[in-house]
Amino acid sequence: MSMAVSGPALAASKKEDSCMHQAAVVAAVQQARLDRVKEREVPAAVKAKAIWPESFNTAIPLVTPWVYEMKMRDVKKNDLSAAWKEMCLAQ
Protein backbone atom coordinates (compact mmCIF):
# COMPACT_ATOMS: atom_id res chain seq x y z
CA MET A 1 0.00 0.00 0.00
CA SER A 2 1.36 3.40 -0.97
CA MET A 3 0.63 6.51 1.06
CA ALA A 4 0.76 9.91 -0.57
CA VAL A 5 2.44 12.70 1.34
CA SER A 6 0.71 16.04 1.09
CA GLY A 7 2.53 19.12 -0.17
CA PRO A 8 2.71 20.97 3.17
CA ALA A 9 3.87 17.85 5.01
CA LEU A 10 6.59 17.24 2.44
CA ALA A 11 7.68 20.88 2.60
CA ALA A 12 7.83 20.69 6.40
CA SER A 13 9.94 17.54 6.16
CA LYS A 14 12.36 19.21 3.73
CA LYS A 15 12.58 22.24 6.01
CA GLU A 16 13.32 20.00 9.01
CA ASP A 17 16.04 18.21 7.02
CA SER A 18 17.54 21.52 5.92
CA CYS A 19 17.49 22.90 9.46
CA MET A 20 19.03 19.69 10.78
CA HIS A 21 21.93 19.94 8.29
CA GLN A 22 22.41 23.65 9.04
CA ALA A 23 22.53 22.83 12.75
CA ALA A 24 25.17 20.16 12.05
CA VAL A 25 27.28 22.81 10.29
CA VAL A 26 26.91 25.11 13.31
CA ALA A 27 27.92 22.28 15.66
CA ALA A 28 31.01 21.57 13.55
CA VAL A 29 32.03 25.24 13.54
CA GLN A 30 31.43 25.41 17.29
CA GLN A 31 33.64 22.35 17.79
CA ALA A 32 36.33 23.91 15.60
CA ARG A 33 36.26 26.98 17.82
CA LEU A 34 36.51 24.81 20.94
CA ASP A 35 39.44 22.99 19.31
CA ARG A 36 41.04 26.41 18.77
CA VAL A 37 41.10 26.14 14.97
CA LYS A 38 42.02 29.53 13.50
CA GLU A 39 39.01 31.26 11.97
CA ARG A 40 40.54 31.36 8.47
CA GLU A 41 41.19 27.60 8.64
CA VAL A 42 37.64 26.69 9.67
CA PRO A 43 36.20 26.05 6.18
CA ALA A 44 38.83 23.41 5.35
CA ALA A 45 38.73 21.85 8.82
CA VAL A 46 34.94 21.62 8.89
CA LYS A 47 34.57 20.36 5.31
CA ALA A 48 37.05 17.58 6.08
CA LYS A 49 34.67 16.21 8.73
CA ALA A 50 31.39 17.04 6.97
CA ILE A 51 28.47 14.70 7.68
CA TRP A 52 25.93 16.72 5.66
CA PRO A 53 25.25 17.09 1.92
CA GLU A 54 27.93 19.13 0.15
CA SER A 55 25.45 21.89 -0.70
CA PHE A 56 25.40 22.88 2.98
CA ASN A 57 29.11 23.75 2.91
CA THR A 58 28.04 27.18 1.65
CA ALA A 59 26.79 27.89 5.18
CA ILE A 60 30.27 27.51 6.70
CA PRO A 61 31.53 31.02 5.83
CA LEU A 62 28.22 32.49 6.99
CA VAL A 63 28.13 30.70 10.33
CA THR A 64 31.83 30.97 11.20
CA PRO A 65 31.89 34.71 12.05
CA TRP A 66 28.75 34.28 14.18
CA VAL A 67 30.46 31.61 16.28
CA TYR A 68 33.88 33.27 16.38
CA GLU A 69 32.50 36.65 17.51
CA MET A 70 31.06 35.07 20.67
CA LYS A 71 32.96 34.95 23.92
CA MET A 72 34.58 31.54 24.42
CA ARG A 73 32.62 30.95 27.64
CA ASP A 74 29.37 31.32 25.65
CA VAL A 75 30.65 28.93 22.98
CA LYS A 76 31.54 26.42 25.72
CA LYS A 77 28.28 26.59 27.68
CA ASN A 78 25.65 26.95 24.94
CA ASP A 79 24.31 24.44 22.43
CA LEU A 80 24.60 26.67 19.37
CA SER A 81 23.30 24.01 16.99
CA ALA A 82 20.07 23.63 18.98
CA ALA A 83 19.63 27.41 19.02
CA TRP A 84 20.24 27.57 15.27
CA LYS A 85 17.82 24.72 14.55
CA GLU A 86 15.11 26.35 16.67
CA MET A 87 15.63 29.66 14.87
CA CYS A 88 15.61 27.93 11.49
CA LEU A 89 12.39 26.02 12.17
CA ALA A 90 10.69 29.19 13.40
CA GLN A 91 11.16 30.90 10.04
Q: Per-residue pLDDT averaged across 56-66, rounded?
A: 96
- Rounded Cα distance, 40 and 75, in Å: 18
Confidence at 6, pLDDT banded by 50, 70, 90: low
**Over the stretch 15-55, which tens digit does the pLDDT of each residue have?**
999 999 999 999 999 999 999 999 999 999 999 999 999 99
Long-range contacts of 72-75 (CB under 8 A, 24+ apart): 72/33, 75/30, 75/33, 75/34
Question: Letter for the amino acid at 25?
Answer: V
Cα 34 to Cα 77: distance, rounded to the nearest angstrom? 11
Rounded Cα gap, residues 38 and 52, in angstroms:
22
Query: What sections of the chain are H helices per DSSP?
Result: 7-34, 42-48, 60-68, 72-77, 80-90
Give residue limits of the domains in the chain: 12-90
Residues in the chain: 91
Stated pTM of the model: 0.85
CA 15 → CA 6, 8, 37, distances in Å?
14, 10, 30
